[in-house]
Every structure is written in structure tokens, then in C-alpha cells.
Amino acid sequence: MSEQFEAGLRDLYTAAEMAHDARPGLAIDLMVARTRRHRRARTAAVTLATAAAVVGVAVAGTAVVNNLDTPPAPPADGPTATGSATHEPVTGTETELACGTWLGNVVGVPEDRAITLNMALGTTELTAGELTGWLGTSVEESTAMTRAVPGAGIPAGYGFAVLQDGVVVGTTRATLHEASPEAGDPFPRTHDARITPVACDGAALAPAAYDLVAFLPLDVETAPDEWTRALLVSDPVAFTVPDAGPLPDPQDHYTPDGASSIPPSDASAPLPDGNYLAHVSDIDAAAGTVSADVVVLYFGSAAEEWVSANAPGTEILDDYVSDDPDGQTDRVIPLATDMPVWEVCWGPNEEKVRRTGGVAEWATAPIEDGESLCSDTSTIPVGGLYWLDVRGGVVAQAVAQFVP
């Protein structure tokens, strides 16, 4: 019977081929257009990030004194606006407020100089590993002489520090770009800031409440031709690093609605706690790290909202859209030594979850892009796409994710 059935299948196949040949055929132009929209959606966020970096570069050559509403005359050896710009993003990790420093011990700019540094945050909770805010300096007409510190700081000399109980417990990676004052600003705005706070050891900040301060190192003229280094520090602004909660069950990542965790835009920044989806390219068991390109998957209404905001007209296939905010950039992410690796097989008639090993087994598993293997005969998962659940700054579990 099977031979007859197979002959019938082949006959059916041939008939379908002929039927297709008699029709207009595949809509090639439409397929190209749809594919182009999908590919464009993946690169849109990258383009935006690049544009922001270029704006940041544009102010890189601006002297600190140009931030002052009433700039004092710069000394001969002070920084001057050179106008020279590089094509590298302008970021920095200023540590003028060194880790462990108590803010009360910092030498501040004397009040009689009437210079203030102001900072505001857009949100008080760390979102996607970042804070957004803006800052500016205000100087009264009677200001005595101050000057910028040569070579200090990220654009315009600013730095940031993370505090707990007045003690510096972290620094930041930050990108600034020039800003225009907006109606309702409580103080003159000169720069917008995108700030990634990190712990003093470079790891992600643990979930807790913190304060952020901006600072600007200045030289203050205390006597004719006598200059003293001092730090102009903003008032602390409170923010929190949210708790990502307990590790989800392996099969509970793919939800009808929602999104995977969004990584910081700075690919070199540590990942805060969260559940990330990533294309894994390499696992280094000896170093205890995984190299992966973190992407963001939006499901259901979250996908519709993302498309509406970022790529209008993009078709949503299979109920999800993916975004690669940093444009196929691998991050090196530390692994917990006892991290389990799970595999979830999907299907209405076949759904199972199984642990396939730990870091050592994972490191020897072949990595392929686009497909996952989930048969009883395999001992380790295959497939480049994984959920990486980060807790305490390290990947606490990995779950292979098949995406159709």
C-alpha cells in the first residue's frame, strides 16, 4: 500500500506544481518589499543609536566653559572649542568621585562662586539598564573666576557617580548630547544624557535604591593666579534598580503578550537582571562567559505597539517582531557556575522541558543559527537562540528558544 500511497503523493505534488505554473506565480515584488521592511525594522534602532552618537560627538570639542550661561574668560591653558570631532561615540567613566568616597569629604566649589550644576532624570527607575536625564549649569553675573579642568570628563567635562547613604558605590557610562531648553524646565538645560549606572567593580548594580549625582571638576581662582581644584556637584537624584523577580520556569518565557528584557544601548555595559533573548555565538567554559547578541522579542499587542512606534507598516509574522537594538553586536556575559541549560520543545502535541546540562556541556554543544534540535537522541541543545535569565549580574539559567 505504501508504494501506491507514495505514488499518489507524487502525483498530488506534480499536479500542484502544474497548478502553480498555470497561475501568476509567487508575488516576488511583494516578498521583496515585505522582507525589506523586516530587515529595515531590525536596523532602524541601530540607525537611531548611531545618530545620537554623532550628535554627542558634535559637542565633544566644546569646552566646559561653553556650558556656562555666563562663561568666564578661559585661561590660556584651559580647554578651547576645537571643533574637531571623531567618529567614535563619546562616552566616559569619570571617577572624579572615586568609589568609597563620602560625598561630605569632597572639596566643592565655594558657594560664593554662585555656580550650580543641575540634573533631572526622566524616570526614577532604571529602564533597559539606563537612565535618561538632562543637566546644565547656571552661573550668576557676579561669578568669580573658575575654569574648566583640561581633559576632564565625557562631553563638556561632566561626570556621574552613584551613591548609597552618601558614599560612592558606582560609576556610570554615559553619553551626552547638546540639548535645547524646553518650556517648563526648572533650570537651563544644556545637555541631554543617557546614563548607564554600574557598580564600582563594573558589574550591574544590584536591585536597590540609589542616588545619582552629576559633577563637574573645575579650577577655582582663590587668589590672583592661584587655582584650586574643586568639584561642582549636583543635588542627588534618587533612582531605583528594579528587582527582576525569581527565575521563570523554562517554558514560561514565550508569552502571548509582552517583551523580553531590553539591554542597555551600550553593548559594553553589563546586563542588569532580566530575562534576555540572545543569539549565542560562543561559550567559554574556562572564562565562564557567553558571547551573545541580545535581541528583543515583542509579542502580541507589545509587537503591535513596537511596530507602530518604530517601523510602521511592518508586517507581524508569527505573532512576534524582533528588534536588534545594538545591531548584531556580541556582548560577553558572565555565567553562573551552576547554571542549568534547558530546552523547551513546542507544539500542541509535543511539549516538553528538559535540562540538557550545565556550562561544560553547553560549551561543547554545536551552535547553529536558526534551528533547534529537540529530540530524545540529543544530549545537548542545538540552536543559537536562547533565553538568558540574568540574576545578580550573571546568567542564572539558559533556555533554548525555537522561533518559527
Residue ranges binding other proteins (CB under 8 A): 1-21, 23, 25-28, 30-32, 34-36, 38-39, 42, 279, 315, 317-319, 324, 328, 345-350, 369-377, 402, 404
Report the distance separating Cα 87 and Cα 349, nearest Å. Answer: 53
Considering beta carbons, is residue 257 or 315 the nearer one to other proteins? 315
Query: Between 5 and 77, whose beta carbon lies closer to other proteins?
Result: 5
Please identify, using beta-carbon distances, which residue of 208 and 317 lies nearer to other proteins.
Answer: 317
- Smallest separation, CB 384 to other proteins (Å): 9
Tell me the closest approach of the beta carbon of residue 395 to other proteins, in angstroms: 21
Nearer to other proteins, 20 or 229 (CB): 20
By beta-carbon proximity to other proteins, the closer residue of 120 and 382 is 382
Q: Are 297 and 322 in contact (CB under 8 A)?
A: yes
Q: Based on the number of CB atoms within 10 Å of its own CB, is 293 exposed (0-12), middle (13-18) or buried (19 or more)?
A: buried
DSSP alpha helix (H) spans, 22-104: 28-58
Nearer to other proteins, 225 or 376 (CB): 376
Q: What contacts 284, CB < 8 A, 6 or more positions away?
A: 290, 291, 363
Strand partners, 216: 232
Separation CA 211–CA 197 (nearest Å): 10
Shortest distance in whole angstroms from residue 244 CB to other proteins: 27
Helix (H) or strand (E) holding 320: strand 320-323
Look at residues 206, 234, 135, 208 and name the one whose alpha carbon lies nearest to residue 175. 135
Shortest approach of other proteins to residue 155 CB, angstroms? 33
Nearer to other proteins, 215 or 402 (CB): 402
Q: How far from chain centre, in Å, is Cα 117? A: 26
- CA–CA separation, 322 vs 226, rounded Å? 58
122-139 burial by CB neighbour count: b if 16+ within 10 A, else e? eeeebebbbbebbbbbbb
Q: Going by DSSP bridges, is the β-strand pair 394-400/341-345 parallel, antiparallel, or unpaired?
A: parallel
Q: Is 317 exposed, middle or buried (0-12, 13-18, 19+ CB in 10 A)?
A: exposed
Residue from 149, 193, 201 nearest 170 by CA: 201
Name which of 38 and 189 has its Cβ closer to other proteins: 38
Residue 402 CB, nearest approach to other proteins (Å): 6
State in angstroms the smallest separation of the CB of 58 from other proteins.
32
Nearer to other proteins, 220 or 344 (CB): 344
* Rounded least distance, CB 13 to other proteins, Å: 5
How far, in Å, CA of 277 to CA of 260, rounded?
Answer: 6
Q: What is d(CA 385, CA 245) in angstroms, rounded to the nearest whole number? A: 23
CB of 156 to other proteins, least distance (A): 37
The least distance separating other proteins from the CB of residue 352, rounded to whole angstroms, comes to: 8
Minimum distance from CB of 275 to other proteins (Å)? 21
Radius of gyration of the chain (CA): 27
Q: What percent helix, strand, coil does the chain show, rounded to 5?
A: 20, 35, 45
Residue closer to other proteins by CB (options 6, 305) is 6
